[in-house]
A and B are shown apart, each in its own frame.
Chain A
Amino acid sequence: MALLQSINPLLSAGWQRDAHEWRLENDTGWHLKDYEARGGYQSLRKILAAKMSPDDVIAEVKKSVLRGRGGAGFPTGLKWSFMPKAAPEKYIVCNTDEGEPGTFKDRDIQRFDPHAVIEGMIIAAYAVGAGRGYNYIHGEIYELYQRFEQALDEARAAGLIGQNILGSGLNFELFAHQGWGAYICGEETGLLESIEGKKGQPRYKPPFPANVGLYGKPTTINNTETFASIPYILRDGGDAFLNLGKPNNGGTKLFSVSGHVNRPGNFEVPMGTPFPKLLEMAGGMRGGRKLKAVIPGGSSAPVLPADIIMDCTLDYDSIAKAGSMFGSGAVIVMDETVCMVQALERLSWFYYEESCGQCTPCREGTGWLYKVIHRIEHGLGRPEDLDLLSDVSTNIMGRTICALGDAAALPVLSFTKHFRSEFEYHIEHKKCLVPRDVQKAGSTFHTRLMAGTAC
C-alpha cells in the first residue's frame, strides 16, 4: 500500500514510496548520501558560496508566501524578520511535537527526510543569526528521534553543522530534544519551557519568543514541515514555490488524511487543491458510505458537514471562509456511521486530559465540558445542557494564555451547531440517532475484532 501520494511532489519527491512492511529498519533513502544525491544541501551550499545575505534569504522566503505549517499559518519570512539583529545569542527551534490528533505529517518528514529539516534549520539559523538550534521531537516517535540523532551525526561528520560550516565561517550547533508526549508542549512557549527542563506550560505573550525565547534569548520557532520546505524555496526561488499553490497560500502541503477513507495516509498536494480531489486520492469513502463530516485541520478545527467541505479548496482562505481552520492539514473524515456525540466526547476527553492546568478557564472548563458531554452520551443529558455547553465554551474562548482553551471550545461549538439535532435526540431519547449496529458496522476496530483478526 502506498503510504504517500502526491500531485506535483516537492517535499516528498524523493521519499520512499513503498515502505517495506512498515518497518523503520527497512527504510532507505533518508541518509545524507541519498539526500545529497537528490540535490540536498545544494541550497545551503549555494547560499554560502554566493555569500547571499541573511536579508536576501528572508526576502526569498517572504516572496514564497510560505505560511507556518504547524497550524497557525503565520508567514514564515515575516516571523524571521522579527528577530532582533543585534542580539548576541539567538536560537532556532524546530517544533516536531506533533500532538494534534489527526496529524502525522511531521512524523513522515522525520522518517524519510530528516536532512531536509536539518538543512532548513541551518538556512534559518543563517538568516536570523542563531548559533544554536534544537529540534523538539515528541515522545511517541522515539525511533525517529534516534534517526534524527543519526542524521545529525552524519551532518556533523560532513561539516554541515558545527564550527565553520563548509569553510564559510558560519557556526551553528544543532541538537535533538526528546519530548515526552504532552500536547501542550507543541505550543511554542510550552515547548521552550520543556526544553529548559521545566513543566510544559505556555508563557504569557508578549514578550514573544522573537524577543524573549529559549533561556530568555531571541528565538524563532517553526514547524518541521516549514523547515523542510525551506531548501526547496531557496533552490527553486520564492516565486516558483508560490506558484505551486495559489496567491497568499504558497507551495505544496502535506495532508494527513485519516478516518473512514479507503487509503488513509499523507498526501502532498498544492495549496488550493479541491477537497474532493484529496478525498479521491485517499481512495474515496470506505465501503462506499456517505460522507458525513470532516474536521479539516486537526482536532482543534471546527467540524464541517459534508456539503460544506465538498465545496472547499485546501488552502487557508477557503477553509477559513467556510468557518473552520486549515490548521496543520490533518483531515479527519467521518462517514454516516459516526455518532457525533461520541466523537465529541472523545475529543473533549483529549482536551480535558491535555490542559496544562495553568489558567483557570481551561483547567476547570475542559473538565466541565467533558463531564457534560459524557453525561449526554451516556443517556443522562438534560435539556439545558446544550446551552450550558455553548456558554462554558464561550467563557473559555479567548480567556486563556494559550490557544488550548480555544481548541477545546471550538469543537464543542461546531459539533453542537452543525449536528444539534443529534445532541437533542441523545438528550431526549437517552440513545443515539445513529443505531448502534450501524455504528459498529462502520468501525474497523469493531468488525475486525469480531472477525478475530488483528486490528
Chain B
Amino acid sequence: MLDFEIDGKALQVQDGTLVIEAAHQAGIYIPHFCYHKKLSIAANCRMCLVQVEKAPKPMPACATVVTNGMKVFTHSDLAVKAQKSVMEFLLINHPLDCPICDQGGECQLQDLAVGYGSSAARFQEEKRVVADKNLGALISTDMTRCINCTRCVRFTQEIAGLMELGQAFRGDRAEVMSFMEKTVDSELSGNVIDLCPVGALTSKPFRYSARTWELARRKSVSPHDGLGSNLIVQTQHNRVMRVLPLENEQINECWLSDKERFSYQGLNSAERLTKPMVKQGGQWQEVDWNVALDYAAHALRDVAKNHGAANIGALLSPHATFEEMALAAQLMRGIGSENIDFRLRQSDFRADGKRQGTPWLGMKVTEISALDRVLVVGSFLRKDHPLIAQRLRQAAKKGTQVSVIHSADDDLLIKLFAQAIAAPSQLPALFAEVLKAVAELKGVATDPALAKVGAGGTASAGSAANTETAMKIAASLVSGSNVGILLGNFAQQHPQAATLNALAQQLAVLLGAKFGFLGEAANSVGGFVAGAVPSATGMNAAAMLAAPRKVYLLLGAEPELDCADGACALAAMQQASSVIVLSPFKSPAALEYADVLLPVSPFSETSGTFVNTEGRVQSFYAVTKPRGEARPAWKVLRVLGNLLELDGFNYDSSEQVRDAVLGGRPEFVSGLDNSVAGVAIELPAAAGVERIADVPIHFADVLARRSPALQATANAVAPTARMNAAMLTKLGVTSGGSVKVGAGGTASAGSAALMGTATLFAELDSGIPDGCVRIAAAHVNTIALGPMFGSLTVERG
C-alpha cells in the first residue's frame, strides 16, 4: 500500500494504481476522454493533466502511476490551466453542432466544455472537416466531431479482438477509419457507440429519433443468450427507443453484444400481434380475449377428453420467462399431459432421467476469467456467446491456455493454444481421445468404452493430426491448476450430446476440473427449474414432433425455425387439429398452421425472471405497457388455467409465481449439477456428407429476426453451403457457384413430405472438415433440409 494525497485528501492505495484510479477511490473526478478502465492507456487526449508535486510539468493522471508519498493537485492553477488549454484545443476543430448532434445531452465533450471551456473562441481560422465513413448498418458516423481519443480503435483491437478501426493520417488530418472502407462487422461493434465520448459514432437505428433527456430509463435483462446481460432500456411514449448496457462486473461488465443492443427494433416490428385472433373457416378473425381464450380452452379440453391428454404437446421458447414456463408446465400437468419441453434444438435426450441436477455453466461467469486451462467443445463461441468469448479472449492474453474441439474453424479472435476440427459424427471420438490421453498422462485406467478410439480403434477422430492435437490439449489440461471444460450450443444440440456430457464429466473428474454448458438461451437453466421438461412418462421436444400430437401449445416458439428439425416441426404443426400460439408476433408460418393466436408480451412488456447460465436469478419489470391488446403471457396462462378449472392458478403477480416455484427470491437457484449417471458412451461411425448447422447470431430468436438493422449486417447474410476446397472439387463447383442440397438420412414419417431441397451458393471455407457441408439452420431458406445434424445430398445445381 502506498500513501497518497490528492487535493489535500490522504488515502492509501495499492501498488500500481494510476492517479486517475486513486482519484476515483478518493471520490475526486478528473476530466478525461481517452481513458477507459477496460481499455489500454493511450494518454493522448491530455484532458486529465494534473499537477504532481515536484514534477515540473503537468502529468496525465491516466498514465501516471502513484508513488509513495505522492501529492497530486487536480484543481491547482497549473492543473486547471493545462486542462482548460486542452479543452480549447479540442474545440478549435470541433464543429460545435450540438443542436443537431445525437450525442447532445450525453456527450462528455459537451459536459466538460461547461466546466473547462471558454465562452468565446480565440480560434478564428478555418476548421477542418473529415469525411464520414460507412461502418455498416449499426454505427452512424460524423467524423468531423471525432476528437481522436482512439477508444473505438482500442476497443476493436483489445476487446472485440480484431482491429477493424484504425487511425490513419497525421496531425489534424488524422482520421479514424476502417481498413479499405470495410464495415465494422464485429458482433460487439455497438459498444464503440457507448465508448465514443463525442458524437462521432452514434447509433444508426436510433439516429435522430429522440433526445436522451426525453427518454425514461428502465433496468431490464437481456432475453437472448444464456449470459443474461443487464440492460438499460430507454423508452418514450410507451415505445422502446434504445437499449444500453447496465454495468454489471459479474455478468456483462460494461458491454453488450449487437444482438442485445439492437434487437429492440423487433419489439416495434410490424409483425407484432396486437389482437387475439381465431381462424374460422380458414379465415382469420380478430376477436375479444374471452372468445380467444374460450376457444383455446375448448380445444385443450376436447382433445384431453376425447383422445387423452397425451395428445397435447407444449413447446416453449427457451427465451420465455421463468414464470411463463412454470405456469405452462403447471397448465400442462393440470390437464394431464407430460409433453412439455423448451429444449427445442436438442436432439439427444438420453440423459433425461439420468441427470443429477439442473445442467448449468458449472461455474460462475466471473470464474471463467480465472481459469488457467480451458477446453471448449462444440461451440460457435464468438457468435453464440459473444461476451463469454470476450472473457476468454482477455484470459488468453493473460496466459490462459484455451483449446477448442469443434466441427468448424471459425476465427474466434482468441489466441488459442490448440484446436482440432472434426466432422460432427467424429466429435465424440475426438473428445474421447482427449479423455484417453489425459487418463494415460494421469496413469488412470480408462472407461472400456474408449477402447474404440486411438490406435487400432474403429472410432475415428478425423485425422492423425487430430489425435496429435488431442494429446497436446490433454497435456495442456493436465498441467493446469484451474481447469474448465465448456460444452457449447453445438455440443448440446449434437446427436451424441449425452455422450459428450458423459465424456466431459469423466474428464472433469480426472482433472479435478469444472465442467458445464454454455447456456443457449436466456432461460436454458430456468426452464429446468421451472419444470418445463417432461418427466419419464412424457414426450420431449423431438419426440412430440416425430410422433405428431393433435394439439400443440406454442409459447413464444416458432417451431420451423427454433427446432432441431424445422421440416419435421412444420409438418407436425400442419397436421395438428389445433395449434394454440402464444406469441408477440404473427409469423407467416403461424398464420398458416395456427388456429388461435394469443398476443402476449415480449420481455419488455412483462415482469418476469430469467435464470442465467450460472443459475443467477434475475427478475425484471416491464419497461413499457403491452402493445395493443397484448398481455403478459403469465396472465394469459393464469386465465387459461382458471378457464380449465385447474387448481393453483390464483397468482396476482409474476413475483408470486416465482416465489412459489423458487421458494422466495434466491440469488442463485439450487440443485445445479451437470453430472449424469448411466449414460452410455456411444462413438458412431461417420455417415455420408454430413451437415454442420450453426444458428447464426441474428437468426437465433424471434426478436433478432425482426430487427431490420441486425438483418442488414454482415452477420445476417443468407445461408450458403460452406465447404472446403476438396469438397468443392469433388462436386465440380467453384466458390460462388450454386449447389442443390437435399435432405438425406432419417426423415420421420410425418416430415418426409416437407423434406426437400434447397439451392444455395457454394462458399469456400477451409475451416470445414472433409466430407462436410456447413449450412446454417434457423433460416427460412434451409427449413426444408430437415435436421441440423446428419447426412445431406449435395450436387452441382
Interface positions of A (Cβ within 8 A of B): 182, 184, 199, 204, 352-361, 363-368, 371-372, 375, 388, 395, 398-401
Whole-angstrom distance between the Cβ of A2 and the nearest chain B Cβ = 38
Q: In angstroms, how far is the closest chain B Cβ from the Cβ of A199?
A: 7
Q: Do B170 and A354 have beta carbons less than 8 Å apart?
A: yes
Q: Which residues of chain B are within 8 angstroms of A361 by Cβ–Cβ distance?
A: 46, 85-86, 89
| A269, chain B: closest CB distance, angstroms | 33
For B173, the chain A residues whose CB sits under 8 A away are 357
CB distance from A20 to the nearest CB of B (A): 38
Q: Which residues of A contact B60 (CB under 8 A)?
A: 204
Residues of B bordering A, CB below 8 Å: 41-47, 49, 56-58, 60, 63, 82, 85-86, 88-90, 92-93, 122-123, 125-126, 128, 147-148, 166-174
Candidates B45, B63, B128; contact of A204 at CB < 8 Å? B63
Q: Given the complex, which residues of B lie within 8 Å of A360, measured CB to CB?
A: 44-47, 86, 89-90, 147-148
B58 touches A398 (CB 8 A): yes
Give complex CA distance A353, B169 in Å: 10
A367 CA to B125 CA, complexed, in Å: 10
For A375, what are the chain B residues with a Cβ–Cβ distance below 8 Å?
125
In Å, the complex CA distance between A374 and B786 comes to 72
Do residues B169 and A357 form an inter-chain contact, with CB atoms below 8 A?
Answer: yes
Look across to chain A and name the residue whose beta carbon is closest to the beta carbon of B33: A360
A sample of 30 cross-chain residue pairs with beta-carbon separation below 8 angstroms, ordered by A number, consists of A182-B170, A184-B170, A199-B166, A199-B167, A204-B41, A353-B170, A356-B174, A357-B148, A357-B169, A357-B171, A357-B174, A358-B44, A360-B46, A360-B47, A360-B147, A361-B89, A364-B172, A366-B172, A367-B93, A368-B92, A368-B123, A368-B125, A371-B126, A372-B125, A398-B58, A399-B49, A399-B57, A399-B85, A401-B43, A401-B44
Q: Is the CB of B170 within 8 A of A355?
A: yes
- Assess whether B172 is in contact with A367, with CB atoms less than 8 Å apart: yes
Known: A398-B57, A399-B58. A367 touches B85 (CB 8 A): no
Contacting residue for B122 out of A199, A363, A388, CB 8 A: A388
For the residues of B in contact with A, the DSSP-based class is loop
Note all chain B residues with C-beta closer than 8 A to A395.
85, 88-89
Contacts of B86 in A (CB 8 A): 360-361, 399
Known: A395-B88, A399-B57, A401-B43. A363 touches B167 (CB 8 A): no
Closest CB-CB distance, A389 to chain B, in whole Å?
Answer: 11
Beta-carbon contact of A366 and B171 below 8 Å: yes
Question: Cβ of B171 and Cβ of A353 under 8 Å apart?
Answer: yes
Inter-chain CA distance A355–B171, complex, in Å, is 5
Contacts of B47 in A (CB 8 A): 360
Task: Apart from A367-B128, A371-B125, A399-B85, list 18 A-B contacts with CB within 8 A.
Answer: A199-B167, A204-B43, A204-B60, A352-B171, A355-B172, A357-B172, A357-B173, A358-B148, A360-B44, A360-B89, A360-B147, A361-B89, A363-B172, A364-B92, A366-B171, A368-B92, A398-B58, A399-B57
- Cα–Cα, bound, A368→B167 (Å): 21
- A357 closest partner in B (C-beta): B174
Q: Contacts A368-B92, A395-B89 known; A359 to B46 CB distance under 8 Å?
A: yes
Complex CA–CA separation, A360 to B90 (angstroms): 7
Least Cβ–Cβ distance between B718 and chain A, in angstroms = 37
Closest to B174 in A: A357
Contact with B89, one of A358, A364, A371, A388 (Cβ below 8 angstroms) = A364
A398 to B78, CA, bound (A): 12
Most A C-beta atoms less than 10 A away, residue of B46, B57, B128: B46
Residue of A365, A372, A399 most packed against chain B (CB within 10 A)? A399
A367 partner, pick from B45, B90, B147, B171, beta carbons under 8 A? B171
A363 vs B86: C-alpha distance in the bound complex, in angstroms?
A: 11
A185 to nearest B CB, angstroms? 11
Q: How far is the CA of A355 from the CA of B93 in the complex (A)?
A: 16
Please name the residue on chain A nearest to B81 by beta carbon.
A395
Chain A residues positioned under 8 Å from B88 (CB to CB):
395
Closest to B150 in A: A358
Tell whether, in the assembled complex, residue A363 and residue B148 are in contact, meaning their CB atoms are under 8 Å apart.
yes
Q: Which residues of A contact B122 (CB under 8 A)?
A: 388
Closest B residue, CB atoms, query A204: B43
Least CB distance, B775 to chain A, in whole angstroms: 38
Which of chain B's residues have a CB closer than 8 A to the CB of A182? 170
- Given that A364-B93, A368-B125, A399-B58 are contacting pairs, would A359 and B44 also be in contact in the complex, using a CB cutoff of 8 Å? yes
Q: Which residues of B contact A366 (CB under 8 A)?
A: 171-172
| Docked complex Cα distance between A365 and B46 (Å) | 13
* Residue ID in chain B nearest A200 by CB atoms: B170
Which residues of chain B are within 8 angstroms of A371 by Cβ–Cβ distance? Answer: 125-126
The 6 closest A-B pairs by CB, nearest first: A357-B174, A395-B85, A364-B89, A355-B171, A398-B57, A371-B125
Q: B85 — which chain A residues lie within 8 A by C-beta?
A: 361, 395, 399
Contacts of A401 in B (CB 8 A): 43-44
Q: How far is the CA of A352 from the CA of B148 in the complex (A)?
A: 16
Closest to A395 in B: B85
CB-CB < 8 A to A364: which residues of B?
89-90, 92-93, 172
Given known A-B contacts A204-B63, A364-B93, A399-B49, A356 and B147 have beta carbons under 8 A apart: no
Set of chain A residues within 8 Å of B170, measured between Cβ atoms: 182, 184, 353-357
A368 to B92, CA, bound (A): 9
For B94, give the chain A residue with the smallest CB separation: A364
A368 CB to closest chain B CB, in angstroms?
A: 6
A352 — which chain B residues lie within 8 A by C-beta?
171-172
- Chain B residues in 8 Å Cβ range of A365: 89
Residues of A within 8 A of B174 (CB): 356-358, 363
> Closest chain A residue to B65 by CB distance?
A206
Residues of A within 8 A of B125 (CB): 368, 371-372, 375
CB nearest neighbor in B for A372: B125
Nearest neighbor of B125 in chain A, beta-carbon distance:
A371
What distance in Å separates the Cβ of B80 from its nearest Cβ neighbour in chain A? 13
CA A357 to CA B146, docked complex, whole Å: 12
For B58, give the chain A residue with the smallest CB separation.
A399
Give chain A nearest CB distance to B484 CB in angstroms: 28
Report the minimum CB–CB distance from A84 to chain B (whole Å): 18
Residues from chain B with Cβ under 8 Å of A367 in the complex: 93, 128, 171-172
Q: Which residue of A lies closest to B169 (CB)?
A: A357
Please, which residues of chain A bring their CB within 8 A of the CB of B44?
Answer: 358-360, 401
- What chain B residues lie within 8 Å of A357 (beta carbons)? 148, 167, 169-174
Chain A: minimal CB distance from B79 (Å): 11
What separation, in Å, do the CA atoms of A367 and B148 have in the docked complex? Answer: 15
The smallest beta-carbon distance between B291 and chain A, in angstroms, is 67
Once the chains are docked, how many angstroms separate the CA of A395 from the CA of B78?
A: 11
Tell me, in angstroms, the Cα distance from A184 to B169 when the chains sit together: 12
Give every chain B residue within 8 A of A359 (Cβ-Cβ).
Answer: 43-46
CB within 8 Å for A399 and B41 given contacts A353-B171, A371-B125: no
Most chain B CB within 10 A, of A352, A355, A360, A400, is at A360
* Closest partner residue, chain A, to B63 (CB atom): A204
Docked CA distance A358–B128 (Å): 16
